Amino acid sequence: MSPHLSEETRARAVELLGLYPHPRSALIPICHLAQEQDGWLTPEAMAEIAELVGLSPAEVLGTASFYDMLHTEPVGRYLVSVCTNIACMLRGAYELLGHAEEHLGVRSGGTTADGVFTLEEAECLADCGRAPVCQVNHRFFGDLTESSFDSLVDDLRSGRLDDVVPPHGTLVRVRRRGGLRVDDETVAVERARTAKAMAERAAQSGGAS
Amino acid sequence: MADPTVTSHHGIAPRSEPGATVQLTIDGVGVTAPAGQFLIAAAEDAGVFVPRFCYHPRMKPVGMCRMCLVEVSGPRGATLQPACYVPVAEGMEVVTTSEKVRKAQDGVLEFLLVNHPLDCPVCDKGGECPLQDQTLAYGPGESRFVEEKRHWAKPISLSELVLLDRERCIQCGRCVRFAAEIAGEAQIDFLSRGDAVEVNVFEDHAFSSYFSGNTVQICPVGALTAAPYRFTARPWDLDQVESTCTTCAFGCRVAVQSSANRVTRLLGIDTDPVNQSWLCDKGRFAYEAVNSGDRLTEPLLRRSRDGDLEPATWAEALAEVARRLSAVRDAQGPDAIGVIGGARLSNEDAYAWTKLAKGVLGTDNVDAQLGDGLPAELVLGLPRATVDEACRASCVVTLSGDLREELPVLFLRLRGAADAGQTRLVELCHRSGPLSALTAASVVVRPGELAGAVEALVAGPGAAPATLDAGALGAARAALSAAGEGGEGVVVVLGRPSLAEHETVVANAALALAAALPGARFLPALRRGNVMGALEMGMAPGLLPGRVRLEDGGEALAAAWGAVPAARGRDTAGMLRALAAGEMRALVLVGADVLGDFPDRRLAADALGAAELVVAVDTFLSSSSAHADVVLPAAGPHERSGSTTNVESRVTRLGQKLVAPGQSWPDWMVASELAARLGGDLGATSVGELWDEAERLAPSLAGCTRAVLDSDAGRDGVVVPLRRAGVGLPSLRPSRRIDPIATPGIEAVERQGAPPRAGLAERVGGDEAPGAPAGRTAAPPPASVGLPTGFAGPEVAPASPGSLRLVTARRLYDDGALVEASESLTALAGPAVALLHPDELRRAGVAEGGRLRLRSGRGELLVDAVADPGVPPGVVQVPFNLDGGDGSGASALVDAGAAVTDVTVEAP
Ligand code: SF4
Ligand code: SF4
Ligand code: FES
Ligand code: FES
């Protein structure tokens, strides 16, 4: 079976594995990587991640399905998350959500037939000062009105916001160069150092008790 | 990695000093509890039951359901804390009945019921449901919840065997914890979050674990149900008896529940030294074979040489067998008769058959093993370890097939011990398996190189064959020497890694290990039902009951039996060869399907074809018994009483729950009636009498009387030989307390007034008082066969160029009669595929998944090929007794006369 994750994704995943004392700790960061590749976590990706981190596919799905920001179903090119928490709600979030549903022609949680938009309801997005707020692929748009929402949709469709809104799944738009670029040897050294430190700590606490 | 909070049976975190205790009060009563014990277990020991759902005495606590909240004193006054998660502490004051606790219990239950469908009338768990029971005892009388409950499709199949109704799930996590923590395969997990949370599998993967049925057993509600049991019974209609699973030789203790003379289900009993409440799915569900309509129900007789098998009366069939056996004996002598089989029998049956064969017929051609085991002298002569001793040994060497396939619950026990860091595993195998990830070293050995591998393991690096992984070997040596001088602290789990490798190869390797590691002890990993009991009873060439060699104990036994064979007889392979060559004439198959189970099918077929008389005593018309001239129907599991013996030689009682179908008889009765017609007399009229006689005559059983087996002390069985008079008996202790929520199904039926105890004395020959055995005269010979210095067998020839060495080993679900007659399991027996190293596949010019023709000197086999980098180059691995798609299996290839079997591979 040829791997589903691209060579680059796999390479970055291996680097991430090196940053943690237990491989399974890298599960969520690697899920984000895979999501960056496909826009959502495909079953093939989850099965491959399971192998990478030494868990079962069911455990990967268990974790992935727990978190809202990890998607185990296909997501449109743009994920529109409308906040309906208190500040936004008081400033008309539900009306805005209702309008968005009508305008996009999908219910919250659904994806438009052309696969461009997925609409969802979100809890506080921590931008209450500009309520009501929505995120598109995790980029903020505040002080929304029904008409500004419509023009946001227009801009997204026409590609005018391509510079601002990356494809869904991308958390870090300008990925820091080098920060994650660790070679295998450094990873191995780091692993060994952590293991040693852990062993020492264990020995100490064992001796003390 | 060892987790410090691993719990033992009594809910103790082993971190604490062994033997240390603390004083606390529970509901005002002073209690002394082992340090580290969890409150819930300490309370239970003190007779205070704390309600619970998620806590299970055999798993780590998680404190998830909050049902066990109790008030615990602390610096800030009494607070509610989960009793399953808090260890006892000095001076702790615990209150389990206060208003605060009551309110908490009430609240937890109200919450649990918010989304519970309350469809008890159509739920399998109704009547044995901890949620029902604890709601009644501790819960609110009424629900305040009027909103819509959550809905799920009801039910979904997680596998062929297990169904899940997610509406009923209370998210206790017992099932997912079992899968990850005990079985080591997290094929199910909690998905999603909040009120959307569900237990499920990944995508379309099945919950294919061999242990899936345990999740049904421990689910505290009706969320998980077993397909074969679903809607078949209500607990209050069930009756139960405590017995032992004889599907494999591990001997898990089970509660057999039945209704209207049909087994409805099996539940694992928490027997500390054996299965600790778990069962494998084959053992749990193979009762379907017992209920099967395909069982033999009347004697069958071939009235003319080429005629069909036709129904006959017992009188007619037995007379025919006796007449023709006598004719063979008179003409050619007793040596022309052989008896193969015995592992399906109870101990008492096996004793009766040994006495019939060796004492009455006078033949020593008797073998309970079908060429798939190990020499009996080796098994009985090696210093023995119990399962508990293996799990506590510093180092366990497995020299066997994949234990998950062969002795599943032994696999669980060893896996648990290794996972908890109690023991280090060293694996000598033909291909890494499910234990490998937990081993200190997994040494992959190619067929024919075992002797060199063992030598390298015990002698030093110089001796290592070039094909062995030096790193793995080094780690293995380190684990061995860390265990202790001369093999102290080492237990070898000894089985047959491959049925295509002659048993003497493994036997000699074991002797080499025993010689180099005199302190090491051995746990036989023979897999067939009661094979150990059959060997103890002397169903092997050259042996008499009680681990006595014919030459050592013949005289003593001849005095009791009247006669014993003059000379050592043949083993199964020898008998089949002699039959094929016309040197033997008659064969009695006692629950033995030589065509399916003997490694070399052609030899078995030749032997059956050449035999003048074949008699089969069987529960099914197997491929072999279909060749017989006379077929006698036998009682099966749960249809007989008596006892059985497991791999560690633990004798446990079998409980009878059913009446055998039609005219089937227990095997001992067949032997007894035949003896009478052959001019002999077995001298016993009940199972109990047979045991008494065996106990009296067989040195290894000395002291293991019916009274001992029936006593409370013998409830978990007794390991024989008793190590010293009186010692080796489990200490007397009060009747086991069963956590009613751990296995709700057993407790519920027990409450109905069907206690699971079954004693030999009560069930059989109830009129005789089981007292001290009378009539023991002289001290019997010592219970040891003594080890031979070597086993003569074929030499390993160098592999011819271009050929591959064959490895074939058992799978749990195979084409054997048991799986074939158990509807729910049949679908799980996959077709055989050949595993080869990718390079070998390329060399053969066959694509992955393509058909492959294997050819040996004995025959050929067509199978699908799968590339597996875990199989070393030069080797091909094919499962045993599993159809490759053209009606034959690996036994078409195996040459029983060779040390190893070489095959050529090609595209068909
Ligand atoms: S299915 Fe049963 S065992 Fe599993 S979490 Fe739900 S209630 Fe517990
Ligand atoms: S491991 Fe063996 S004895 Fe235990 S349940 Fe399975 S088949 Fe029966
Ligand atoms: S409430 Fe909407 S962003 Fe905080
Ligand atoms: S929280 Fe203690 S039994 Fe569930």
SS (H, E, C) B90-150: CCCEEECCCHHHHHHHHHHHHHHHHCCCCCHHHCCCCCCCHHHHHHHHHCCCCCCCCCCCC
With a Cβ cut-off of 6 Å, ligand 2 is lined by: B 245, 247-248, 250-252, 275, 279-280, 282-283, 407-409
- Distance of CA B63 from the midpoint of ligand 4 (Å): 4
- Phi first, then psi: give them for residue B576, nearest 5 degrees: -65, -40
Determine the Cα–Cα distance for residues B12 and B217; give it in Å rounded to an integer. Answer: 23
Determine the Cα–Cα distance for residues B483 and B491; give it in Å rounded to an integer. Answer: 10
Q: Determine whether the shortest distance from the Cβ of B65 to ligand 4 is under 6 A.
A: yes
Determine the Cα–Cα distance for residues B672 and B683; give it in Å rounded to an integer. Answer: 8
Residues of A with CB under 8 A from a CB of B: 43, 46-47, 55-62, 65-67, 209
For residue B351, is it within any domain?
yes
Mark whether B512 and B604 lie in a shared domain: no
Nearest CB neighbour to A66, from listed B180, B185, B192: B192
Closest CA to B590 of B506, B698, B693, B668: B668
Q: Taking a C-beta distance cutoff of 8 angstroms, is the pair B31, B42 a contact?
A: yes
B11 to B7, B91, B105, B178: CA distances (angstroms)? 5, 19, 22, 16
Select the residue from A41, A65, A72, A194 to test the B interface by mutation, using most B Cβ atoms within 10 A: A65
Q: How far is B189 from chain A (nearest CA, A)?
A: 6
Q: Token pair of B648, please? A: 């560690």
Chain segment B153-199, per-residue pLDDT in tens: 999 999 999 999 999 999 999 999 999 999 999 999 999 999 899 99
For residue B241, is it within any domain?
no
What are the domain boundaries of chain A? Answer: 7-72+175-199, 78-158
For residue B117, is it within any domain?
no
Between 1.10.10.10, 3.30.70.360, 1.10.3720.10, 1.10.10.1590, what CATH number should domain A7-72+175-199 receive? 1.10.10.1590
| pLDDT (0 to 100) of residue A187 | 64
Judging contacts by C-beta atoms under 8 Å, the chain B residues touching residue A56 are 180, 185-187, 189, 202
Mark whether B879 and B759 lie in a shared domain: no
Which residue matches tokens 């180099």? B516
Nearest CB neighbour to A56, from listed B187, B191, B200: B187
Select the residue from A4, A25, A27, A61 to test the B interface by mutation, using most B Cβ atoms within 10 A: A61
Q: Bridge partners of B266?
A: B256
Q: Token pair of B640, please? A: 């007989």
Please say which residue of B493, B524, B555 terminates a domain. B524
For residue B185, is it within any domain?
no
For residue B736, is it within any domain?
yes
Determine the Cα–Cα distance for residues B465 and B737; give it in Å rounded to an integer. Answer: 53
Q: Pick the atom of ligand 4 nearest to B54's CA.
A: 4
For residue B137, is it within any domain?
no
- Distance of CA B85 from the midpoint of ligand 4 (Å): 7
| pLDDT (0 to 100) of residue B723 | 67
Mark whether B510 and B536 lie in a shared domain: no
Q: Pick the atom of ligand 4 nearest to B85's CA.
A: 2
Mark whether B701 and B743 lie in a shared domain: yes
| pLDDT (0 to 100) of residue A199 | 86
Q: Taking a C-beta distance cutoff of 8 angstroms, is the pair B34, B16 a contact?
A: yes
The residue ranges of chain B whose pLDDT is under 70 are 1-16, 461, 463, 723-738, 752-784
- Distance of CA A83 from the midpoint of ligand 3 (Å): 6
Nearest protein Cα to ligand 1, atom 6: B169
Query: Using omega within 30 degrees of 0 as the cis cutoff, is the peptide bond preceding B721 cis?
Result: yes
Please say which residue of B462, B489, B524 terminates a domain. B524
Q: Token pair of B176, please? A: 């997912």
| pLDDT (0 to 100) of residue B11 | 57
| pLDDT (0 to 100) of residue B12 | 57
C-beta atoms of A58 and B186 within 8 A:
yes
Chain B residues 179-208 within an 8 A CB cutoff of chain A? 180, 185-193, 200-203, 205
C-beta atoms of A47 and B202 within 8 A:
yes
Q: How far is A194 from chain B (nearest CA, A)?
A: 15
With a Cβ cut-off of 6 Å, ligand 1 is lined by: B 169-175, 199, 219-221, 223-224
Which residue matches tokens 């689910």? B219
Q: Taking a C-beta distance cutoff of 8 angstroms, is the pair A72, A65 a contact?
A: yes
Which CATH number is B519's domain given? 3.40.228.10
Q: Token pair of B618, please? A: 């069987």
Determine the Cα–Cα distance for residues B21 and B817; give it in Å rounded to an integer. Answer: 52
Query: Using omega within 30 degrees of 0 as the cis cutoff, is the peptide bond preceding A132 cis?
Result: yes
- Phi first, then psi: give them for residue B55, nearest 5 degrees: -65, 130
Determine the Cα–Cα distance for residues B431 and B435; give it in Å rounded to an integer. Answer: 11
Which SS3 state, helix, strand or coil, does residue B290 take? helix
pLDDT truncated to tens, each residue of chain A (209 aa)?
578 999 999 999 999 999 999 999 999 999 999 999 999 999 999 999 999 999 999 999 999 999 999 999 999 999 999 999 999 999 999 999 999 999 999 999 999 999 999 999 999 999 999 999 999 999 999 999 999 999 999 999 999 998 888 888 877 644 433 345 556 676 677 678 778 877 887 888 764 44
Mark whether B413 and B365 lie in a shared domain: no
- Distance of CA B529 from the midpoint of ligand 2 (Å): 9
What residues have CB less than 8 Å from B836, skipping those under 6 apart?
A: B804, B844, B852, B865, B866, B867, B868, B871, B875, B876, B877, B905
The model carries a pTM of: 0.91
B175 and A CB contact within 8 Å: no
Mark whether B348 and B419 lie in a shared domain: no
CB neighbour burial string for B628-655, b if at least 16 within 10 angstroms, e if fewer: bbbbbbbbbbbbbbbbbbbbbbbbbbbb
| pLDDT (0 to 100) of residue B762 | 35
- Report the CATH fold assignment for A78-158: Glutaredoxin (3.40.30)
Mark whether B406 and B361 lie in a shared domain: no
Determine the Cα–Cα distance for residues B159 and B802; give it in Å rounded to an integer. Answer: 42
| pLDDT (0 to 100) of residue B539 | 98
Which residue matches tokens 């980029």? A139
Chain segment B742-793, per-residue pLDDT in tens: 888 888 887 766 555 543 333 333 333 333 333 333 344 455 678 889 999 9
Q: How far is B20 from chain A (nearest CA, A)?
A: 14
C-beta atoms of B191 and A62 within 8 A:
yes
Nearest CB neighbour to B189, from listed A47, A62, A67: A62
* Size (chain A), residues: 209
C-beta atoms of B203 and A61 within 8 A:
yes
Mark whether B519 and B535 lie in a shared domain: no
Closest CA to B42 of B85, B5, B79: B85
Domain count along chain B: 4
Select the residue from B159, B185, B203 to test the A interface by mutation, using most A Cβ atoms within 10 A: B203
Q: What is the DSSP string of B441-469?
A: EEEE--TT-HHHHHHHHHH-GGG--TTS-
Query: In the 3-class helix/strand/coil scheme, how is B803-856 assigned residue by residue?
Result: CEEEEEECCCCCCCHHHHCCHHHHCCCCCCEEEECHHHHHHHCCCCCCEEEEEC
Q: Token pair of A7, please? A: 């060579």
DSSP H or E segment with residue B43? helix B39-45
Closest CA to B627 of B326, B336, B340, B342: B340
Phi-psi region of B591 (alpha: psi -120 to 50; beta: other; left: phi over 0): left
Q: Token pair of B232, please? A: 């078949």
Which CATH number is B560's domain given? 3.40.50.740
Determine the Cα–Cα distance for residues A54 and A48; give it in Å rounded to an integer. Answer: 10
Q: How far is A67 from chain B (nearest CA, A)?
A: 8
Chain B residues 14-43 within an 8 A CB cutoff of chain A? 15
For residue B30, is it within any domain?
yes
| pLDDT (0 to 100) of residue B738 | 59
Chain segment A10-28, per-residue pLDDT in tens: 999 999 999 999 999 999 9
Q: How far is B405 from chain A (nearest CA, A)?
A: 20
SS3 content of chain A, % helix, strand, coil (to 5): 50, 10, 40
Mark whether B606 and B711 lie in a shared domain: yes
B509 to B492, B514, B875: CA distances (angstroms)? 11, 9, 20
A with B: how many residue pairs have Cβ under 8 Å apart? 41
Q: Determine whether the shortest distance from the Cβ of B69 to ligand 4 is under 6 A.
A: no
Q: Which domain holds residue B678?
A: 309-373+531-763
Q: Pick the atom of ligand 2 nearest to B250's CA.
A: 3
Mark whether B577 and B696 lie in a shared domain: yes
Mark whether B692 and B758 lie in a shared domain: yes
Mark whether B516 and B543 lie in a shared domain: no
Q: What residue in B sits closest to A72 (Cα-Cα)?
A: B192
Please say which residue of B472, B504, B524 terminates a domain. B524
What residues have CB less than 8 Å from B121, skipping those under 6 apart?
A: none
Q: How far is A127 from chain B (nearest CA, A)?
A: 25
Determine the Cα–Cα distance for residues B893 and B427; give it in Å rounded to an integer. Answer: 27
Determine the Cα–Cα distance for residues B129 and B132; give it in Å rounded to an integer. Answer: 5
